Structure 1
Amino acid sequence: MNRALLDFTFFYPIVMSFLWVTGAVYYFFRREWRAPPRDRPPTLSAYPLASILIPCHNEGATVRETIRAALAQRYPAFEIIAIDDGSSDDTAVQLDALAAMHSRLRVLHLGRNLGKANALRMGALAARSEYLVCVDGDALLDEYATHWMVWHLTDGPRVGAVTGNPRIRNRSTLLGRLQVGEFSAIIGMIKRAQRTYGRLFTISGVIAGFRRSALHRIGYWSETMITEDIDISWRLQLDHWDIRYEPNALCFILMPETLRGLWKQRLRWAQGGVEVTRRHFTSLFSWRRRRMWPVVGEYLVSVAWAYAMATMFVLWAVGAAIDLHGGFRVESLVPSWHGMILALVCLLQFATSILIDRRYEAGVGRTYLWVIWYPLAYWLLCLSTTLVAVPRTLLRGRPRARAVWTSPDRGFH
């Protein structure tokens, strides 16, 4: 048992790292290497109206910046719909003042906090366009992002959504700098690899484009799921819509820079993964939905890896107190030669991702000095949140209450 656990916990991250690197490199050379630069997006035969949806709840400190960035889009035909979802601060007042100054901006006022999913639904129903670009109320949309999104959505009738490329704005702490490396070396690389191998596990909820008719077919966003972005991604793909990844569609976001804020965010993400897998698992047993199997399989194996690691910790702790015999004894948790191999593979992955990602952010290579802390900080975080999220979500039963807004930790900026 000891040997099997050790082999699994050691080989899983190495195998996944090589799969991510291989898929991302293939994606880069096929789709990015000779693509036009971010500031020269492809010319469209026609420029249909795009609707930029911005759901807001208590965003008074950031909403002016967000609206200003949305208004600066270098796309000829767009409208902005800001949805104030029962804010208790001055968000509504600021939005009304901005709407009076800018004819492209419309504001919807919802009477109480009904959650982001409901706010997005109201915005989609009020939109004049078939093509929706959704961005959070504290995020800054790059001036070319809408053009890149609409280019994908008009490229084929089965393109249901496009996920963009979030970039971290706040980098004043070690946690902030680590997340710069994470979004480059992990999240961006995984999206490229998943796009190469089949389907995406999730769009980035902070920046995504949608075809409204695709949303209408599947019933829009679910109001009871704790992570509406994972759920909408699965339901679109289970309905055979294509989701694309566009790294040129940049969006600058605020992320937690405290351990408590980071824990709450990642626990919510972990719970969302469990919720979505449980809700849609039985519907995956269809040959027509086979392209989702690798995504689901990798997720289930990652959960098994977290519990295997936890088992190793428990056996080591018990073995330190009593004498365990045979295959149950774990001599030490301190990495030896296999730890060095993991570290080298991790650094290779980071180096590859930075070489790819420097196309989109100058100076991103400076984060390489900080990502050496990534395995310790984030592998433990992901392991811990998974261990908590699985029993919490499964024991709670199917969610019935509406998932409403909670104010996130936006770091020090």
Structure 2
Amino acid sequence: MTIPASLTWLLELASNYVFFYPLVMTHVWLAGAALYYIKWERGQPERIVLGHTPMVSILLPCHNEEDNIHDTIGWLARQDYPDYEIVAINDGSSDNTGALLDQLCTRHPRLRVAHLAENQGKAVALHVGALMSRSEYLVCIDGDALLDVNACSWMVSHFAYPNVGAVTGNPRIRNRSTLLGKIQVGELSSIVGIIKRAQRIYGRIFAVSGVIVAFRKSALADVDFWTPDMITEDVDITWKLQRAGWDVRFEPNAKCWILMPETLAGLWKQRVRWAQGGCEVFLRNAGVLLHWKQRHMVPMYLELGASLLWVYAVVMLSAIEVVDLLLGPGSTLPPWHLLLSTQNTFFVLMLASLLQFAFGLYLDSRYEKKLWKTYFWIIWYPLVYWLIIICATFVGLPKAVFKKKGKRAIWTSPDRGFKP
């Protein structure tokens, strides 16, 4: 396949961008995470003792959680925090979730339940819970999550600073019976944990973890709470709070044990939803480029745009390579095809990834013992997950572009794999 000379320079630029963008960002995240560790994590005590313990409302939106709700409420009832309530919101479940919650109310005096007649979506369920809550401080988890007994104390400690609007916690995966599950254990530490630490140092966090996050209710009211038509309400509320001037923090000591997909179909569905949510936020927040008061959000917005551009550059170059192979040996290989062998870019990129994985596991080893055992599995991340993420983002952007604005984002029961 012969490439016109006028396009060669553009394709060479795209090729260099595809291979060097993740390499540069790996070093950016590693540097930020190292600074975070030195500044806040090193020498930190394992437990925190608060001088002031304001009331906390734990919001628990539920949709078809009959298999998990007993365990989740049971863990919440054991919180090592003196003053808290549990507000469960049954969001139009079609299974036995509502009846089980009513039964649990008779056994747990801290628990109150609201029943929504129809599935309104997680954003609406959280909004209902916030309006029902008696506290200024809200801890939000998912209906299948097990909240660590000290998580509330760690997150509440940040609200001593009046500019803090939200604190995202540290989700830990508890189902790891398959290769996909084992890889995700390392992903949360080596990818998500590293990036959240770095973003905290650099000033802005891309997204709180919807499965474990605390909010100041007055901050939520300041931005009109969650947006019902955003498919990833956690990403959207993070941007809304930070655009309004609120600080969002990361607290790795606030652990929450969660279930994640362990089938390819479940993983694909999850990653497409995440990708679409990120693209929706990108499209709706373009205004940060036009307003001087929003300049603090510009670096994160540009980085999000750069990651989307990277995905489409990968797809474009891969398509050209496939066409070249189909044309057979008589075709002319484009010059960027030799980039891997001539500049050892692939080797350098893999080495940087392995370094990031090792450092991430080291940082999180204080929060989960024997985490190093997942290192063998996380090394497969570039081969398995990069392909899934690239394809999911390629699909997610058009879904975000053509989504009907105002259409409420309801949820369905996710594939959570198998419990250990």
Fold agreement, TM-score > 0.5: yes
Give, in whole Å, the separation in 2 of the partners of 1:248 and 1:395. Answer: 39
Aligned ranges 1:98-109 → 2 under 5 Å: 98-109=104-115
Identity %: 51
Give, in whole Å, the separation in 1 of the partners of 2:122 and 2:411. Answer: 7
Give, in whole Å, the separation in 2 of the partners of 1:371 and 1:47. Answer: 39
Q: What is residue 31 of structure 1 aligned with on the other side?
A: 40
Task: Confirm or deny: 8 A CA contact 1:315 1:330 kept in the other structure.
Answer: no
Among 339, 363, 373, which residue is 2:380 paired with?
373
Among 188, 202, 207, which residue is 1:183 paired with?
188
Cα distance, 1:249 vs. partner? Answer: 0.2
Cα distance, 1:328 vs. partner? Answer: 6.9
Cα distance, 1:186 vs. partner? Answer: 0.2
SS in 1 for 2:188: helix
Task: Confirm or deny: 8 A CA contact 1:312 1:330 kept in the other structure.
Answer: no
Cα distance, 1:320 vs. partner? Answer: 2.0
Cα distance, 1:329 vs. partner? Answer: 6.8
Give, in whole Å, the separation in 2 of the partners of 1:201 and 1:295. Answer: 7
Aligned ranges 1:269-348 → 2 under 5 Å: 269-322=274-327, 327=334, 330=337, 337-348=344-355
Among 137, 144, 160, which residue is 1:138 paired with?
144
CA 1:333–1:214 in 2, change beyond 3 Å: closer, same or farther?
same
Task: Confirm or deny: 8 A CA contact 1:313 1:333 kept in the other structure.
Answer: no
Cα distance, 1:50 vs. partner? Answer: 0.3
Give, in whole Å, the separation in 2 of the partners of 1:263 and 1:18. Answer: 28
Among 397, 400, 407, which residue is 2:413 paired with?
407
| Residue identity opposite 1:12 in structure 2 | Y
SS in 1 for 2:402: helix
Runs (5+) with no aligned partner, structure 1: none
| Residue identity opposite 1:269 in structure 2 | W
Among 349, 354, 362, which residue is 2:369 paired with?
362
Give, in whole Å, the separation in 1 of the partners of 2:348 and 2:335. Answer: 24
Q: What is residue 47 of structure 1 aligned with on the other side?
A: 53
Give, in whole Å, the separation in 2 of the partners of 1:73 and 1:335. Answer: 57
Q: What is residue 28 of structure 2 aligned with on the other side?
A: 19
Cα distance, 1:326 vs. partner? Answer: 8.1
Q: What is residue 395 of structure 1 aligned with on the other side?
A: 402
For residues 291-319 of structure 1, the C-alpha deviation after alignment (integer angstroms, 9 at most, x for no partner) is 21121111111111111111111111122
For residues 211-260 of structure 1, the C-alpha deviation after alignment (integer angstroms, 9 at most, x for no partner) is 00011111111111111000000000000000000000000000000001
Give, in whole Å, the separation in 1 of the partners of 2:332 and 2:373. Answer: 48
Cα distance, 1:406 vs. partner? Answer: 0.7
Task: Confirm or deny: 8 A CA contact 2:230 2:236 kept in the other structure.
Answer: yes
Q: What is residue 254 of structure 2 aligned with on the other side?
A: 249
Among 235, 238, 241, which residue is 1:236 paired with?
241
Give, in whole Å, the separation in 2 of the partners of 1:324 and 1:214. Answer: 60
Aligned ranges 1:164-203 → 2 under 5 Å: 164-203=169-208
Q: What is residue 155 of structure 2 aligned with on the other side?
A: 149
| Residue identity opposite 1:6 in structure 2 | S
CA 1:56–1:330 in 2, change beyond 3 Å: closer, same or farther?
same
Q: What is residue 10 of structure 1 aligned with on the other side?
A: 19
Give, in whole Å, the separation in 1 of the partners of 2:224 and 2:307. Answer: 30
Cα distance, 1:132 vs. partner? Answer: 0.3
Could you tell me the TM-score, scaled by structure 1's length? 0.95
Cα distance, 1:350 vs. partner? Answer: 0.7
The answer to whether 1:204 aligns with 2:213 is no
| Residue identity opposite 2:379 in structure 1 | I
Runs (5+) with no aligned partner, structure 2: 1-8
Counting matched residue pairs gives 408
> Bigger CA drift: 293-302 or 228-237?
293-302
> Bigger CA drift: 292-301 or 252-261?
292-301
Cα distance, 1:330 vs. partner? Answer: 3.3
Q: What is residue 3 of structure 2 aligned with on the other side?
A: none
RMSD: 1.6
Give, in whole Å, the separation in 1 of the partners of 2:219 and 2:244. Answer: 9
| Residue identity opposite 1:194 in structure 2 | Q
Task: Confirm or deny: 8 A CA contact 2:288 2:295 kept in the other structure.
Answer: no
SS in 2 for 1:97: helix
Cα distance, 1:66 vs. partner? Answer: 0.5
CA 1:324–1:333 in 2, change beyond 3 Å: closer, same or farther?
farther
For residues 76-101 of structure 1, the C-alpha deviation after alignment (integer angstroms, 9 at most, x for no partner) is 10000111111111111111111111
Q: What is residue 223 of structure 2 aligned with on the other side?
A: 218
Could you tell me the TM-score, scaled by structure 2's length? 0.94
Give, in whole Å, the separation in 1 of the partners of 2:154 and 2:42. Answer: 16
Task: Confirm or deny: 8 A CA contact 1:319 1:330 kept in the other structure.
Answer: no
Q: What is residue 266 of structure 2 aligned with on the other side?
A: 261
Give, in whole Å, the separation in 1 of the partners of 2:163 and 2:290. Answer: 22
Cα distance, 1:385 vs. partner? Answer: 0.8
CA 1:55–1:333 in 2, change beyond 3 Å: closer, same or farther?
same
Give, in whole Å, the separation in 2 of the partners of 1:9 and 1:193. Answer: 22
> Bigger CA drift: 281-290 or 370-379?
281-290
Give, in whole Å, the separation in 2 of the partners of 1:93 and 1:326. Answer: 64
Cα distance, 1:35 vs. partner? Answer: 1.7
Moved over 3 A (4+): 321-336
Cα distance, 1:336 vs. partner? Answer: 7.6
For residues 361-409 of structure 1, the C-alpha deviation after alignment (integer angstroms, 9 at most, x for no partner) is 001100001111100111111111111111222133x522111121100
For residues 94-123 of structure 1, the C-alpha deviation after alignment (integer angstroms, 9 at most, x for no partner) is 111111111111111111111111110010
For residues 113-164 of structure 1, the C-alpha deviation after alignment (integer angstroms, 9 at most, x for no partner) is 11111110010000000000000000000000011111112x2111000000
SS in 2 for 1:225: coil
Give, in whole Å, the separation in 2 of the partners of 1:28 and 1:63. Answer: 35
SS in 2 for 1:101: coil
Task: Confirm or deny: 8 A CA contact 1:146 1:249 kept in the other structure.
Answer: yes
CA 1:307–1:334 in 2, change beyond 3 Å: closer, same or farther?
farther
